[in-house]
Amino acid sequence: MPDLTVTLMQSDLVWEDVAANIGRFDAAIDRLETAGDLIVLPEMFSTGFSMNAARLAEPMTGQAVTWLRRKAQARGAVLTGSVMIEAGGRYFNRLVWARPDGTLATCDKRHLFRYAGEEKIYSPGHGHITVECRGWRIRPFICYDLRFPVWTRNLGLVYDAALFVANWPERRSAHWRALLVARAIENQCYVIAVNRVGRDGNGLTYDGGSMVISPTGEILMEGWFEEATPTVTLRRDLLDQYRKDFPAWMDADTDPMRRPETR
């Protein structure tokens, strides 16, 4: 199976301005000399992490999703990031996975950030998706989902890479870094994580920290403070060999609440 190249779009965001953000990312992707098989944008890449869903949320036929689809087709790569979506009278923080053939996959943020009142505005997701890119199985998550290891658990090695898109503030950047490394080690998978930089409309600052981590916990790429668009190669041989040589995944608890049997 081939290696996978991933481009991380660590960027500032224009507060609550869909057209401006789409324009910025469109130009930034056009400037890439070489783009990966997968191009990853931050959480709520078209607006910033806003609770103003009544004004800004769009249907699946709106500007941001339409742009993702068109840009994926034009670049011949998968594009993904999360967007404010309105569906059935409810709002969702929805990750959209746009393929070069024009098809989409989606998943909604499961854990809504109570500290910011996200659960009062948005509805939670209720299931995982596992998507493929060049034969790699990838499971996406959104920001606060990172804190919940049961939700992100890779039982039976059902995915090869965990993907996190975020608006994770600078004040908790130590948590971001530690949890991402832990998710890679415990799940014996690559971790791809994209966070924003800059300051949002609520006065919160973001220092990036986008990174790619190997299944052994080695940080292969880490970018802080500035806008950046690195492309990183994920090696298939390293992943397969490590899982074979150190098969801790075979001893995982399928039911963490079950007491050990007594004999």
C-alpha closest to that of 83 among 18, 1, 25, 150: 18
Look up 261 and say whether it is catalytic: no
Strand partners for 39:
7, 79
C-alpha closest to that of 72 among 44, 39, 105, 43: 39
**Residue 98 to residue 79: CA distance in whole angstroms:** 5
User: Catalytic: which of 43, 58, 118, 170?
Assistant: 43
Look up 107 and say whether it is catalytic: no
User: Catalytic: which of 107, 133, 143, 189?
Assistant: 143
Report helix angle 63-75 to 18-31, nearest 10: 10
Look up 43 and say whether it is catalytic: yes
Tallying the residues shown for the chain, one arrives at 263
Instruction: Quickly list DSSP for 192-222.
Output: EEEE-EEE-TTS-EEEEEEEEE-TTS-EEEE
Contact 67, 26 (CB under 8 A): yes
54: which 2 tokens? Answer: 């009544």
**Residue 125 to residue 5: CA distance in whole angstroms:** 28
User: Catalytic: which of 109, 118, 170, 189?
Assistant: 109
User: At residue 253, what is the residue type?
Assistant: D
Q: Identify the three-state secondary structure at position 30.
A: helix
For 140, residues 6+ apart whose C-beta sits below 8 A from its C-beta are: 80, 95, 97, 107, 129, 131, 162, 163, 164, 165
> Catalytic residue numbers?
43, 109, 143
